Amino acid sequence: MENKELIQQVTAKAKVWLGAAYDAATRADVQRMLDSEDKTELIESFYKDLEFGTGGLRGIMGSGTNRMNRYTVGAATQGLANYLKKSFASLGEIKVAIGHDCRNNSRLFAEISADIFSANGIHVYLFESLRPTPEMSFAIRHLGCQSGIILTASHNPKEYNGYKAYWDDGGQVVAPHDRNIIAEVNAIKRVEDIKFKGDKSLITIIGEEVDKVYIDKIKQISLSPEAIARHKDLKIVYTPIHGTGIKVIPRCLQTLGFSNVISVPEQNVISGDFPTVVSPNPEEPAAMSMAIAKAKEVDADIVMASDPDADRLGIAVKNDKNEWILVSGNQNALLITNYLLRRWKELGKLNGNQYMVKTIVTTELLKDIADHYGVEIYDVYTGFKWIASVMLQQEGKKEFICGGEESYGFLVEDFVRDKDAVSAAAMIAEVLADARDKGKTLYEQLLDIYLEFGYSKEKGISIVRKGKSGAEEIQAMMDNYRAHPVKELAGSPVVLIKDFKTLKACKPQTGEVWDLSMPEPSNVLQYFTADKTKVSVRPSGTEPKIKFYMEVRTDMKSRADYDKAGAAADAKIEAIKQSLGI
């Protein structure tokens, strides 16, 4: 499309936003874009409609059809309201829970959504102020709601906001509801179709009463209260990175009995501008730097950081050289899972009817641990909604122990149906207390897991290819891997290939082929080798990149071998990159 034609199209779309149905501030902002000689902002704001996808909305805030604003949020809420009224027509009252994080406009979007739901005759439970995403998931189940939404863009940059929709089980919407809601949202063609004028009698403000029940229930999942009592003065440095975790995580830790929770005052400031970090992502070393500095100052035992909506938790510990190191999402999952299964066994709680869940790109050591304890483990696609989906399927049949993913998400309890940094913080603190009972540091506990189940190292690699040509190149790479299957990785033969697009698995050496049992196809390839290497390849669903998740195994016979095992794993990963041509 020629630039002139594109400008004509976006100009026509923008002029609709000058109509009387739009508020004065929006009209002025759109007029400013129209009047500007540089049409870049106009094009970016109107060249497409911000899509309500299977994960909801996420985008840059501002005026326009391709931005997060009261009208795009309004259309999403009106569409969801319409679908709820069709799905639960037999109920005397339909109820939804609404939460939000610290981001700029999150409270505004939450209040607008509350007004729209109530204008449609739906009873709204609106949190009084910011709360963690998992607490909103809890509130859906606790209050008997049919749906819920959270206004958050997780750990995206400050310019972004987002909108995630949940169903009556407390999990994010999955098929068929996701596609049906998208259809209802897309059917909202005019701003006049959105009922903005709320019914205040249908909006109930919630807060402390839900906080208390949520925290009390987390306390009930503790497996070693005696160990906590013995080590209650562990020095725990915690930062919410300006986000929602400040509302409940310190209080939750203290309720469990940990009396020495140390804050990072500069990052306790609630702010959607995230003034002390470039990215509010606990996976990033820079986001943890202030907390680690505080830990050095007070000689802490552990550092914890939650992302802005407190569904993901990052931790740091001291190694055997007294250096602070970040613990990966996979390692965090290993520490908690190994502890949970061991304690469940010690307490006589394992009877063969328990299960756990992990995503397909998460470390296979979790399966080895589950097998060791005789616990069934399910593999699901990337995204915690798939873990919640298994929990819904198994509800009333089997007992959930835990679920986790490599990207710092973990869930210990079944009364929440999304990843939960609050319970993860409580549980990793308990794991530390248990380790201290045995005369170990958390670092030594991790190394001992490797000694028992084998050493594994994981590395993610992303190749960015922007624009239309980039998307075509990424697709060509996936097509090439399918047309010319990888035969070896770092010299070890590929013994199993899983193609989640065709939902077929095969053993190349024997030609044996069988079906994969997954809820729907996904453009993911996985390779497993004779030496237990696993490589997963998939295009990103939200960014212009192709992602490689690598997991390799090497020998480790003592704690002293840890660094050597890591170096050998790094060398193997470099060889795998050569095998894949990246």
What's the CA gap between 402 and 380, in Å, rounded? 14
CA distances from 327 to 14, 79, 115, 317, 524 (A): 47, 41, 42, 7, 26
Provide the residue type at 526 as one letter.
Q
Please answer whether residues 334 and 363 qualify as being in contact, where contact means their C-beta atoms are separated by less than 8 angstroms. Answer: yes
349's CB contacts (< 8 A; 6+ apart) are: none
- 512 contacts 506 by C-beta, under 8 angstroms: yes
Give the tokens for residue 522: 């996904």
Q: Which residue has the tokens 């399966």?
A: 367
Range 558-572 burial, b when 16+ CB lie within 10 A, else e: eeebbeebeebbeeb
Nearest to 233 by CA among 133, 286, 301: 301
Distance between CA atoms of 306 and 246, rounded to whole angstroms?
9
Q: Are 261 and 145 in contact (CB under 8 A)?
A: no
* Dihedral of alpha carbons 439, 444, 448, 451, sign: negative
| Residue 182: half-sphere exposure toward Cβ, Cα within 13 Å | 16
Running DSSP on this structure, what letter comes out for residue 56?
B
Which candidate in 154, 224, 306, 389 is catalytic?
154
Taking the C-alpha atoms of residue 159 and residue 557, their distance in angstroms, rounded to an integer, is: 48
| 154 is annotated as an active-site residue | yes
**Catalytic annotation, residues:** 154
